[in-house]
Structure 1
Amino acid sequence: MKQPPAVMKILVVEDSPEMCDQVRQALSRERYDVDTAEDGEVALDKLFANPYDLILLDIMLPKKDGLEVLDDIRTAGIKTPVLLLTARGDVQDRITGLDRGADDYLAKPFSMAELMARTRALLRRFSDHRQPMLQAGNVALNTVSRKVTSKGKSVDLTPKEFSILEFLLYNTNRAVSRFTLAEHVWGDEFDPFTMSNSIDVHIKNLRRKLGNEGGGLIQTLRGVGYIVRNTPL
């Protein structure tokens, strides 16, 4: 079965070098592939030349503002989800942006934790629509029905176990750090000082439920985290 891209690709369109760099670094730590653009014209050049999974789009941009960029890509049939970055007081801009095809907005100043949560939500929604089936080895996961099978037999997972497996399968053949996995699955509940044992327990239970297939599918990388390899077992 054809696999979805292992890494989600995001375009950050922001004219403030400091803000752009902060967002880029935060997304890169989550193992997203990040491109940046400092104005609307550069953004359009990149959007028409490359496919992206998500666009983080500031409204106040030089040359072409964010709403013009949004109009142009929607007119061109580009349906990539857009998260608008707006000034806190610009309520009308937010309404206009949503009416013109944006999928969500985030008012400045914002926390990186909230940005990551919005990013995960939009990517999950778009990815589920685009490619509902994930598979590696004999394990298959449907992101829409949330059904998991191992060697054709149904596997009953808890919500956390499902999220862990889903994230590992999205990153098939790429190492996923324990920190990244925990932050993605637990979100705002993430506590690096207490989460380690919880991850171990969930991975152990997940492997047990998937049977021998799971023990070979989810491999531990000592000192790093985990990896799912899409190879015959």
Structure 2
Amino acid sequence: MTRGRLADRDAVAFWLSALCGCVAVLIWTLWVLPVAASVDDAAPSPLGRSAEVMLDSGERGGIWGNGISAALGTMECAVVGPDGVGLPLSGAPSLTWDDTLWWMTPRPGFAQSAQFTAVEAGIHTVTCVDALDTYDGEFLVAGDTFGRGSVGLGRNGGSDFAVGSLLAFGAVVCPLIVVLVPGVILIRRLVARRRRRRRADGPAPRRASPEVWES
């Protein structure tokens, strides 16, 4: 009975690992690699200048900064759409790309600081400056890692987690589960098999003491 329960647990863990593998492939194929490629293709601009980017309606853009101004949080940006109207900017969620996937950023030192969504298709003008007019730095417009909206998790979905945070978490944790779970199952099975062999062999026969033979 115990052996059957352990086999059922192994099956559940194996299928969980397979599910995490599929999720990891989707996250890396549809999110991590495209964002990294967009950062690599984008041309950095110094603070105080403007950069133009072509976006479709509803497409999200990420503003990435580098330098002392971005590190201190004094970099301020503004986005103007093709209709001449300024677009609102959104800040980072609690867990971001820079917390788990900084090593995938093809331009060292750059981290996303803001997000905006295009209302109309066309050329969008992004301008970033140092609020203190003291520090230098660079910025570029590339793929967005913050995501849109949140997902309710926990009991009755009471805890909301930003989509970007879930993606940044899953991109690292899911591959780890894929690697660790089969290894744990294999080690546990080897240990269980060794224990069964010891039980099947039984205790070693006792040898009579010299006193018994002499008597």
Higher relative contact order (CA 8 A, sep 6+): 2
TM-score where L is the length of structure 2 = 0.26
Structure possessing the higher radius of gyration over alpha carbons: 2
